Amino acid sequence: MMDRRYFMKQLSRTVATSLALPYLSYPVLVSAAKSISGNDYVDVETSYGKVRGIQSSGVNIFKGIPYA
């Protein structure tokens, strides 16, 4: 059985998370939208073929490439 103290603790965590989540994810969404909307694509040739990534703040980012 759940006691009142545990219930209130869980409720406050849930409320705090739901209120903070929009503010935490906003900068990530804005930066992702900027990098996708602009033509900041980077194409490189590897020994296995061409790879396309994006450039953000001077850093080349290639996602979804497995490595050993």
pLDDT digit string, tens, across residues 14-66: 888 888 776 665 555 555 555 455 557 888 898 888 888 888 888 888 888 87
Residues 49 and 18 placed together within one structural domain of the fold:
no
Residues 2 and 27 placed together within one structural domain of the fold:
yes
Residues 15 and 27 placed together within one structural domain of the fold:
yes
Q: Give the C-alpha separation, 38 to 40, whole Å.
A: 6
> What's the pTM value of the predicted model, to 2 decimals?
0.39
Residues 45 and 33 placed together within one structural domain of the fold:
no
Residues 1 and 26 placed together within one structural domain of the fold:
yes
Cα atoms in the Cβ-side hemisphere of radius 13 Å centred on 6: 3
